[in-house]
Structure 1
Amino acid sequence: MADVKQRNGFLGFIRVLWRGINITRQAILNLIFFGLLLIIILAAARRPLPLQDKTVLVIEPRGQIVEQYSIDPAQRVLARLSGERMQQVQLRDLLTVLRHAAGDPRISAVLLDTSDLQTGTWTFATLRQLGHAIEQFRASGKPVIAWASGYDQGQYYLAMHANRVLLDPQGGVLFTGLDSYQPYFKGLLDKLGVDVHLFRVGQFKSAAEPFLLNGPSPAAQEADGYWLGGLWNQWLDAVAKARKLSPAQVKSDVDNLPAGVAAAGGDLAKMALDEHFVDALATRAQLIRELRAYAAPGQDGHGFRAVSFGDYLARVQRERRIDDNRPEIAVVVAEGDIISGPQKPGTIGGAETARLIRQAREDKDVKAIVLRVNSPGGAVYPAELIRREVQLTRAAGKPVVASMGNVAASGGYWISMDADQIVAEPDTITGSIGIFGLYFNIPQTLAKIGIHTGGVTTTPWAGAFDMTRPLDPQVGAAIQQIIDKGYLDFVGGVAKARGKSFDAINAIAQGRVWTGRQAYERGLVDKLGGIDTAIALAAQDARLGKDYQVRYVEPRIKPFDRFLMSLGDSALASIALDHGITVPRWLAAFAPRAAGPLQLLQSARPGKVNVYAYCFCGP
């Protein structure tokens, strides 16, 4: 009886616990349901306010500027509905908004706040293109006011294109020049007993040096110093032109930073003003007063009438023509490391990107393709899958133009080389034509902890790639021959595509990195410019004139994700936010975050020779 009572008591406890969990679950679902219902009711009761005259467009990019989101739709929507700004903004959206706002009589000016923009050495090509878009907006007769709590040299590279550059009095403008440092792991690998075998072709193919050396080789220092110096000189020239200074003066101000700080008494804002990098110092309140010259007062009679970048983009997208029968130029984005297998946006899956090119080629409405490349490369085979589709598209009579973003090096150049034309920004990092193979084995590592291997084989080569065994020198020689052949294919392919001799390309290949301008001077690039230039060239090659539309061809979005995106970009979201109704921020924090670390070596399989066309010259 006692056992029966205990069982009944335990089962009763479980039933009560389950009932409590079920009630809690239903309560949470009801809260979410009624919250969405309230948003719908508000939307029905009140239509979105029309955009009024004398409105300032506020552009405050937060995080990174990317070619395509690597953050999934659910996280993007949750961020918007929780009142948070996303950590990514698409370049195409910024360009679209600036282009549309230039012809919108309701937009009287643009406020550009770069305080939360994340930039670096490898984003200058993107920033240059955005700067050109800002100058085109200014050509409409409307001003652009840049303001920030402080500028690094990337943020400034964008802000300097404004009519006026303002700085918070407690901020500063800090230019430090460019560098290319990376960690070297040889000492650690030696201590662990890991044997690293490198197979490469190219005097300057230094991507694997961190696993073999304790510092850069003389060849790597020579090559890196050349392209990095070229990039820095372009930065100096651009800043000098924008601020009506001489490049020598800008260089002197940067080189003599400590003296400038001392002369300003440690006041970085005053130093920036004295050196003419900013036009004035202004608090946010002073900024608002200045903007009142271009905008009507805000709804409360204070501030200024403004529309955010996100809201204005949603309006532009809603106003686009849906029934458009004009011929199309398809844009396929290849951004990130090139890796085998299916990949999410932000990383290039060779088969997936090849499928998108094939899809565009087989679409009768698509007359030309722009392959937008922002990649330091990766594994050779998936890169080759993409290149083949580019070649097949050209053979089918549809022009392909490669548009290089911040980085299009090594494998990024591989997938570009067979395009009809290659377009790069002067600040693009490209070249690095070379391949290498890496093989790791760990018999010494195992020996350190008393583990040894032994056994029998049926042939001399069975178990040759068992990472617990030493690498046979004959196997190493065979691998090097494979890498040699891969390099010949790469250089030969570039030579054929560029209409040059093998020797001419080999002389500028060797794994050496170039800026876009340096590559253009050496015949690796056809034209300098951004994606708009590439689209115009594609239209020209397809004989479309100016009557065409541009469509991004991307992986199919799941129906539920599409619903979430439409909800986040809809008037419902804007109305809810206007009413102060937001999703709790703790809920948004549960959304998955995009992976930031380098994934190339993570994709390497133990016991296998991994062959790469990769350049460790990306972010």
Structure 2
Amino acid sequence: MIGRFFYRIWKTVDVAGRLLIGLIAITILVFMVRGCVSGPDLPKVSDGSALILNPAGTLVEQTTYMDPIEEVIADAQGTKSPETSMYDLLDAIEYAKNDDSISVLVLQTNNLTGAYGGISKFQDLREAIEDFKTTGKKVIAIGDWYSQGQYYLASSADEIYMNPQGSMMFEGMARTGTYFKSALDKLGVNVHVFRVGTFKSAVEPFIRDDMSEAAKEANIEWLGDLWQSMKQDIAASRDMTTADMDNFIENYLEILKANDGNGAKAAVESGFIDKLISRAEFRDLMINQVGLNDKQDSYKAIGFKDYLKARRPLIDMPSSKDKVAVIIAKGEIVDGSRKEGTIGGDSTARLIRKARLDNSVKAIVMRVDSPGGSAFASEVIRSELVQAQKEGKIVVTSMAGMAASGGYWISATSDEIWAHPTTITGSIGIFGMVPTFEEPLNKIGIHRDGVGTTKWARSFDVMSGISDDLKEVIQTNIEKGYDDFLSLVAEGRDMTKAEVDAIAQGRVWSGEDAHRLGLVDKLGDLDDAIDSAAKLANISDYEVRFVEREISPTEQMIREIMQNTEAQASMQSASNLSAKTNPMIHALGQQLKEVYTLINNYNDPNHAYLHCMCEVK
């Protein structure tokens, strides 16, 4: 009887469960059919609306791939590191420029934390905003407070407002590293380093406790170029001189004290902010300009994500036109296949091959935003580009924020190289690094021993070390890799190896200096590079096609659901004008994540790396 009782309960639960799953499946099917029949419910753009440009997290060339389910969990836990595609922002601005429904552009920068690779992305956005203003439409910036990067973007606006309780300060630019030598020594970890190049400082964190004088010399030069460019842009936008900015920065403490410690007032008095205004006052100001929204609770506005849904074509229809293919290579370069946000040697080569085999593609533009990585993977990518050139296609590189070391390797033999004046590039050098853990293991009584048929059989073991002969082999390979780097740059840049060596040695340069030295052909943005590629390919009537990884229908469906949720949250954030991430916790978490990612990505089969470690903090 007891058995029958529990059996009946189980059958009831089983039937109920099956029924529930069936109902869920039917519901999903009904919604999918409705979506296919009725089409997507596009957001409405009311006449005279304000377009809210409110980027969140880091500005990137390409958003980092994250498994949709993991993304939902990370978003719920608050551990997701937000990113905003620069091209989404640029497209939104371009559509709005000639859209009569958009009357004003509102820059809301509270949730913007920075830009991957440097300041060139800010400059691209500033140029697009300046172009938008040529239509006579106004651009207004609003923020609770402004970090340096936030203000750099906001300064392109006609009017800049800030909360009375806010503040702003310029701290300049720095390149700061975390150094582990003493900690590794205490742990007994032996880091075997092999490198070529006086300025190849990528390995310094593992063999020093401070930055070398050579690294300081190189870093301060390119940092100075980037900082001067930023100051010039801000000064021009605010009708002041760079000397005015320098005075504000150097005498900030005195200026702050003169304004009774009120940083917001000091910013207004010094000409950086037009007016201090509360959130409620800003809403009233905008209501007077564009009118009330349908809910009658704020001003008439649409977020850029919803706006793109309303204005972007739903289907990218194929055409018979000649094409310029654009391939984005953003992130660390690693061996194998990777999804967006990291450059896999094999996966990126597949994208190039896809463009190479398309007869309608007459030119390929590689948009590189990378500090480098695996030497082997870098060559896999470059050799695929060389094959495209052999088959008659033009290859042009457009450098974004960074195209250094491995990023420069894949660019070096292009038909033409474009860079921003503030691109971080060069770092022509190579290193190898292998940690071994024999000392800490021996201290706790763990030892390794054995036999081998040759002197190489046991020449390397992560738990017992590296033999002197193998160290010499690796160093020889590294020196050969550096010689190969010099050779391919000399070939691609029409220079001698000696000329390349004189500006190589692992040294990092700004795009402006790289242009002067011959490492870059021309200065300009992606559009400039695309136009030039078309001219080199002798085509005039063409279309631009971004070559990307094809995603599955399931992944696309989940991504669209996520984007809908993010768009709603984005508008809510724009309304509240509040950032939800603690800056200190975010910064600490990012540093730890970067160290882990760096070590995890060291997967070159020859232990040879082309990395500049030159991100701006």
Does TM, scored on the shorter chain, surpass 0.5? yes
Measured in 1, the distance between the counterparts of 2:200 and 2:7 equals 65
What corresponds to 2:212 in structure 1?
217
* Aligned CA distance change for structure 1 residues 193 and 76 (closer, same or farther; 3 Å): closer
> Does the CA contact (< 8 Å) of 1:73 and 1:564 recur in 2?
no
Residues in 2 aligned to 1:566 and 1:407: alpha-carbon distance in whole angstroms? 30
Aligned mates of 2:266, 2:169 — CA distance in 1: 10
Does 2:610 correspond to 1:613? yes
CA distance in 2, matches of 1:181, 1:230: 17
2:420/2:511 contact within 8 Å kept:
yes
Alignment match, 2:550: 556
CA offsets per residue over residues 113-159 of structure 1, 9 Å max, x none? 01101115843111111111111111121111111111111111111
- Aligned counterparts of 1:238 and 1:512: Cα–Cα separation in 2: 26
Q: State the TM-score, normalizing by the size of structure 2.
A: 0.88
Give the superposition deviation at 1:163.
Answer: 1.1
Task: Within 5 Å, give how 1:447-486 maps onto structure 2.
Answer: 447-486=442-481
Shift of 1:27: 4.8
**C-alpha separation in 1, matches of 2:319 and 2:183:** 60
Which residue does the alignment assign to 1:58?
Answer: 52
Match of 2:600 in 1: 602
Cα displacement (A) at 1:370: 1.1
Work out the CA distance in 1 between the residues paired with 2:137 and 2:147.
26
AA aligned opposite 1:138: K
Q: Does structure 1 residue 70 correspond to structure 2 residue 61?
A: no
Deviates more, 1:343-352 or 1:172-181: 172-181
Structure 2 unaligned spans of 5+? 573-588
| In structure 1, C-alpha distance between the alignment counterparts of 2:448 and 2:508, rounded to whole Å | 42
- Matched-pair contact (CA < 8 Å) for 2:335–2:603: no
Cα deviation per residue 1:199-255 (whole Å; 9 max; x = unaligned)? 100000010111111111111111112111222122222211111111122012112
Matches within 5 A, 1:195-594: 195-301=190-296, 303-318=298-313, 322=317, 324-545=319-540, 547-565=541-559
The one-letter amino acid paired with 1:618 is E
1:169 aligns with 2:167: no
- Please list the CA deviations of residues 312-370 of structure 1 after superposition, one character each: whole Å capped at 9, or x if unmatched: 11122236763543322111111111111221211111011011011101111212111
Following superposition, the deviation at residue 75 of structure 1 comes to 5.9
- 1:416/1:257 CA distance change after superposition, 3 Å: same
Cα gap change, 1:78/1:313 in structure 2, threshold over 3 Å: closer, same or farther?
Answer: farther
> Which deviations, in whole Å up to 9, do the C-alpha atoms of 1:450-508 show, x marking residues without a partner?
22222222222221112233432232222211111100110111111011111111111
Deviations 1:69-113 (A, max 9, x none): 21447369969x99x999222111111111111111221111110
TM-score by length of 1: 0.88
2:114 paired with 1:116 = no
**In structure 2, how many angstroms separate the alpha carbons of the residues matched to 1:197 and 1:399?**
41
Contact 1:124 1:157 in 2 (8 A): no
Number of matched residues? 592
Matched residue of 2:439: which SS?
Answer: helix
Aligned-partner residue type, residue 457 of structure 1:
G
Hey, what does 1:587 align to over in structure 2?
A: none
**Cα–Cα, structure 1 residues 565 and 439, in superposed 2: closer, same or farther, change >3 Å?**
closer
**Secondary structure class of the residue paired with 2:52:** strand
Q: Give the conservation status (yes or no) of the 8 Å contact 2:56–2:84.
A: yes
Per-residue deviation at 1:39? 9.8
Distance in 2 separating the partners of 1:224 and 1:22: 68
249-258 or 349-358, which deviates more: 249-258
**Counterpart-to-counterpart distance in 2, 1:288 and 1:24:** 50
List alignment gaps of at least 5 residues for structure 1: 579-592
Q: Deviations over 1:483-541 (max 9, x none)?
A: 11100110111111011111111111110111111211211111222211111211222
Moved more, 560-569 or 440-449: 560-569
How far off is 1:293 after superposition?
A: 5.0
> Once structures 1 and 2 are overlaid, which stretch shifts more, 303-312 or 63-72?
63-72
- 2:160 alignment partner AA: V
Partner of 1:590: none
- One-letter code of the match for 2:215? A
Q: CA separation of 1:324/1:456 partners in 2, compared to 1, >3 Å: closer, same or farther?
A: closer
Distance across 1 between alignment mates of 2:193 and 2:204: 9
Q: Which letter does structure 2 place at the counterpart of 1:552?
A: F
**CA apart distance, 1:257:** 2.2
> Aligned partners of 2:211, 2:330: CA distance in 1, in Å?
27
CA RMSD of aligned residues (A): 3.3
Q: Is the 8 A contact 2:175 2:615 kept in 1?
A: no
Kindly provide the amino acid, as one letter, of the partner of residue 601 in structure 1: I
